[in-house]
Amino acid sequence: MANPAILTVDDDPAVSRSVARDVRRRYGDRYRVVRADSGPAALEALREIKLRGEQVAVMLADYRMPQMNGIQFLEAAMDLFPRARRVLLTAYADTDAAIDAINVVDLDHYLLKPWNPPEEKLYPVVDALLDAWLAAPDEAISETRVVGHRWSAPSYEVRDFLARNLVPYRWLSADDAEGGRLLSAAGLTLDDVPLVVTPDGTSLVRPGEADLAAHVGLTTSPAEDFYDLIVVGAGPGGLGAAVYGASEGLRTLLLEQRATGGQAGQSSRIENYLGFPDGVSGAQLTDRARRQALKFGAEVLTTREVVGLESAGAARMLAFGDGGVIAAHTVVLATGVSYRLLDAPGLAGLTGCGVYYGSAATEAPGCAGQDVYVVGGANSAGQAAIYFSRYARRVHMLIRGGDLRRSMSQYLIDQIAANDGIEVHPYTEVAGGAGEGRLERLTLRDTRTGETRDAEASWLFVFIGAEPRTDWLAKAVARDDRGFLLTGGDLLAGGRRPPGWPLPRDPYHLETSMPGVFAAGDVRAGSVKRVASAVGEGAMAVALVHRYLEAP
């Protein structure tokens, strides 16, 4: 972070150089002196400083300047840096104007030109102003900043993307003073959000995920054209495959369309994963696994959508959504599953505006003192309910069945039963929702009687089962009737190998109907939907990759 700035602005080149020289001589070791030759140029400099998240301690502006005089400049500058101390440089004839400016722009001091010697007439004034500023300075900000609206779906998508990719950021409401200052510095209005400002001062207006990833330090392009192993999907299965593949010397590339961790990465707390007796959040587990894969030399790419797979002799070719192609000896498909959309009238247009799929942990603080509704009865729903109960007035779990025992681990059932802030509503489903620009109410239906009732609601989090992310594979590999990938023995219908299988051996345990292409984790038919099993399958897939590569 750069030193705080002292800005001087004067249209007379000789005076401008003199002011900057005297200020730099005494304060240059602690402050950065910024010199401008007009009010508009000085405002542009202030906007750049604001976008970079840096500080301005003192502004010294000449009164008599064309286009914009010193008072007008300081008045405009207050909107960007209200805590910076303000000094007007005046001639003796302009002292009345300087005195009037004390009320107009809350002027801290005015200096008569010339001020020689500066040791007597300049430095004592600036010393006092710097001491006053240091007692209550503007905050220096080094992380990415996001300016948006609370009930804006694009704003939510940006925040969720950054949070899931473990990119530190600061959220600023466009309606708050600091959010408004950033919009002004970027030359934008309230209608332009979300605005993302990176630490180097780059402004991104409503950025797409690929553009956002490229500007916040995430890697989006591969370093090579060919790899030993490409892993598609960076959930627990994919991360496990990447760690073991890279650690065993394979040139490994891990591709993720949105964020590492998958659904597990959104979990607020995982308590049944081996080696973490006190539990671990999905984000923490994901971060450790990602850093582990990178340590062993794996490449991790974000926002790369894979849209096709085909065999080309000994190579396996993957096509990207942007038209690019990449190849490898072997592929592990670990694309996981997606939450199903809640098919209820009125909800489709409210996604990101009160209706969320997955835990959306970034929204938890906003739920403070309000009721939260969670749909679903599996572990992910239970973990979310416990997490949101720390913030919400009450968490309502809506389940279609009579209790949680069918689909939830016992340790979570026990925690929910002991939590006074969580209420389970059996035989209940969401029949509809409504609201102007955001969720305001839900219609709930009793699954036994069909009776409905309305409930005021601003927060709905949906966990209603999952669908495999395999449509992009088309007919490249065999899938079951629900889209899950068939592997190993499941491909041997009637004891016969799958149609078109070119090898004299049967498919390996996790191998798909395309030799050299393996599946791991939730995307595989018959898999156990647990983090530990997905990681284990990722590791086992790498062992089978070695067997495939070493075969004659």
Of 381, 467, 478, 454, nearest in space to 422 by CA? 381
Segment (H or E) for 301: strand 299-302
Distances (CA, A) of 139 to 74, 165, 203: 20, 25, 19
Task: Answer whether residue 343 is part of any domain.
Answer: no
Distance (Å, whole) CA 262 – CA 239: 10
> What pLDDT does 171 receive?
95
Q: Is the pLDDT of residue 102 over 80?
A: no
Segment (H or E) for 70: helix 70-78
Q: What is the CATH number of the domain that holds 377?
A: 3.50.50.60
pLDDT digits (tens, 9 = 90+) for 390-427: 999 999 999 999 999 988 999 999 999 999 999 999 99
Asked whether residue 11 falls in the same domain as residue 48, the answer is: yes
Domain limit, last residue, from 105, 135, 165: 135
pTM above 0.75, yes or no: yes
How many domains is the chain built from? 4
Instruction: Quickly state the pLDDT bin for 217 (edges 50, 70, 90).
Output: very high
Q: Is the pLDDT of residue 153 over 80?
A: yes
What is the Cα 120 distance to its own chain's centre? 52
Asked whether residue 391 falls in the same domain as residue 289, the answer is: no
Instruction: Quickly state the pLDDT bin for 388 (edges 50, 70, 90).
Output: very high
> What pLDDT does 133 receive?
96
Task: Answer whether residue 25 is part of any domain.
Answer: yes
What is the Cα 151 distance to its own chain's centre? 17
Task: Answer whether residue 189 is part of any domain.
Answer: yes
Asked whether residue 389 falls in the same domain as residue 458, the answer is: yes
Asked whether residue 279 falls in the same domain as residue 379, the answer is: no
Q: Is the pLDDT of residue 172 over 90?
A: yes
Mean pLDDT confidence for 343-352:
92
Task: Answer whether residue 230 is part of any domain.
Answer: yes
Q: What is the CATH number of the domain that holds 116?
A: 3.40.50.2300
Domain limit, last residue, from 135, 154, 189: 135
Asked whether residue 261 falls in the same domain as residue 238, the answer is: yes
Task: Answer whether residue 302 is part of any domain.
Answer: yes
Asked whether residue 366 falls in the same domain as residue 423, the answer is: yes
Task: Answer whether residue 220 is part of any domain.
Answer: no
Q: Is the pLDDT of residue 93 over 80?
A: no
Instruction: Quickly state the pLDDT bin for 95 (edges 50, 70, 90).
Output: confident
Asked whether residue 395 falls in the same domain as residue 307, the answer is: no
Q: What is the CATH number of the domain that holds 164?
A: 3.40.30.10
Distance (Å, whole) CA 469 – CA 43: 50
> What pLDDT does 510 receive?
97
Asked whether residue 179 falls in the same domain as residue 194, the answer is: yes
Q: Is the pLDDT of residue 60 over 90?
A: yes
Asked whether residue 161 falls in the same domain as residue 305, the answer is: no
Distance (Å, whole) CA 259 – CA 256: 6
Question: Which residues, including other chains, have CB under 8 Å from residue 21's CB and lie 6 or more apart?
Answer: none
For the purposes of burial, counting CB atoms within 10 Å of the CB of 224, is it exposed (0-12), middle (13-18) or buried (19 or more)?
exposed
Distance (Å, whole) CA 473 – CA 452: 41
Domain limit, last residue, from 464, 484, 513: 464
Asked whether residue 125 falls in the same domain as residue 148, the answer is: no
Task: Answer whether residue 221 is part of any domain.
Answer: no
Asked whether residue 323 falls in the same domain as residue 364, the answer is: no
| Segments forming the whole domain that contains residue 388 | 348-464
Asked whether residue 364 falls in the same domain as residue 450, the answer is: yes
Instruction: Quickly state the pLDDT bin for 2 (edges 50, 70, 90).
Output: confident
pLDDT digits (tens, 9 = 90+) for 433-473: 999 999 999 999 999 999 999 999 999 999 987 789 899 99
Task: Answer whether residue 244 is part of any domain.
Answer: yes
Of 242, 142, 156, 147, nearest in space to 193 by CA? 147
